[in-house]
């Protein structure tokens, strides 16, 4: 645990290492709202330290956790902020098979809806996309969230244990489940059609630009 996170970010703001307009991504590999955050509050203290300094970065938060709604009142004080909620599938059965330690899909959708209703800009990351039960109904549910952006990405092998990517075990499971690149493209086409032209469906790194 980086227990001195607040002091480090406050120092970066004071020294000019972090300036208004800089892009900050929380975070590319480790979810900033892991279960232990409920007890430690480190992510919250980082947000508070930035706000106390009057530095206004372009802040993007990436999470699977409904705990993110705890900090809505802090998000409202940032001038440029987007919360990307990762919703990988529409199926709880699939979620339990691939993401057994992650929050339920319904809880993530509810969290995204709460953020959007509070006026917080959101993105929806269907990344990596897992097998879908009903892509059209899933697309309609996501469209109702009124996200700033939607993005999909297919599973990709991890380059190392310290880099984002898909484990060999998960790649084996998608092969068993018959969800290859062709099935991904078909599901993506349905999602894009359901979201419509007013909600363009991005892909890969294009959907992870700074807020």
Q: Give residue-wise pLDDT tens across range 156-205.
A: 765 555 555 667 788 888 889 999 999 999 999 999 999 999 999 999 88
Determine the Cα–Cα distance for residues 88 and 64; give it in Å rounded to an integer.
Answer: 9
Determine the Cα–Cα distance for residues 115 and 201; give it in Å rounded to an integer.
Answer: 20
Domains of the chain: 21-28+60-208 (3.80.30)
Give the pLDDT of residue 160: 53
Structure tokens at 181: 């690149």
The mean per-residue pLDDT over the stretch 21-46 comes to: 94
Percentage of the chain modeled with pLDDT above 70: 95
Could you count the other beta carbons within 10 Å of the beta carbon of residue 210? 14
pLDDT band at 129 (very low <50, low <70, confident <90, very high): very high
pLDDT band at 9 (very low <50, low <70, confident <90, very high): very high
Determine the Cα–Cα distance for residues 210 and 22; give it in Å rounded to an integer.
Answer: 9
For 37-71, the pLDDT digits (tens) are 999 999 999 999 999 999 999 999 999 999 999 99
**pLDDT of 155 higher than 90:** no
Could you count the other beta carbons within 10 Å of the beta carbon of residue 130? 25
Give the pLDDT of residue 50: 97
Determine the Cα–Cα distance for residues 105 and 126; give it in Å rounded to an integer.
Answer: 11
Give the pLDDT of residue 69: 98
The answer to whether the CB of 147 falls within 8 A of the CB of 111 is no
Inter-residue long-range contacts of 113-118, CB under 8 Å, 24+ positions, other chains counted: 113/144, 113/145, 114/69, 114/72, 115/68, 115/69, 115/72, 115/75, 115/83, 115/85, 116/145, 116/146, 116/147, 118/72, 118/75, 118/76
Model confidence, pTM: 0.92
Give the pLDDT of residue 159: 56
Q: Which of 6-10, 62-66, 115-119, 198-202 has the lowest mean pLDDT?
A: 198-202
């Amino acid at each position: 645990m980086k227990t001195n996170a607040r002091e480090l970010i406050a120092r970066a703001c004071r020294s000019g290492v972090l300036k208004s307009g800089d892009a900050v991504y929380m975070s590319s590999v480790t979810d900033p709202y892991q279960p232990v955050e409920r007890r430690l509050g480190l992510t919250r203290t980082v947000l508070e330290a930035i706000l106390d300094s009057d530095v206004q970065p372009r802040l993007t938060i990436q999470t699977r956790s409904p705990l993110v709604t705890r900090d809505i009142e802090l998000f409202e004080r940032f001038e440029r902020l987007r919360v990307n909620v990762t919703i990988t599938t529409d199926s709880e059965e699939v979620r339990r098979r691939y993401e057994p330690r992650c929050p339920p899909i319904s809880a993530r959708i509810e969290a995204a809806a709460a953020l959007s209703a509070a006026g917080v800009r959101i993105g929806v990351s269907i990344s990596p996309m897992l097998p879908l039960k009903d892509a059209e109904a899933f697309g309609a549910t996501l469209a109702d969230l009124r996200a700033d952006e939607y993005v999909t990405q297919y599973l990709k092998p991890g380059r190392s244990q310290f880099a984002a990517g898909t484990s060999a075990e998960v790649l084996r499971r998608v092969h068993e489940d018959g969800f290859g690149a062709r099935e991904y493209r078909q599901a993506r086409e349905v999602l894009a059609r359901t979201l419509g032209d007013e909600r363009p469906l991005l892909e890969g790194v294009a959907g992870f630009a700074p807020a």
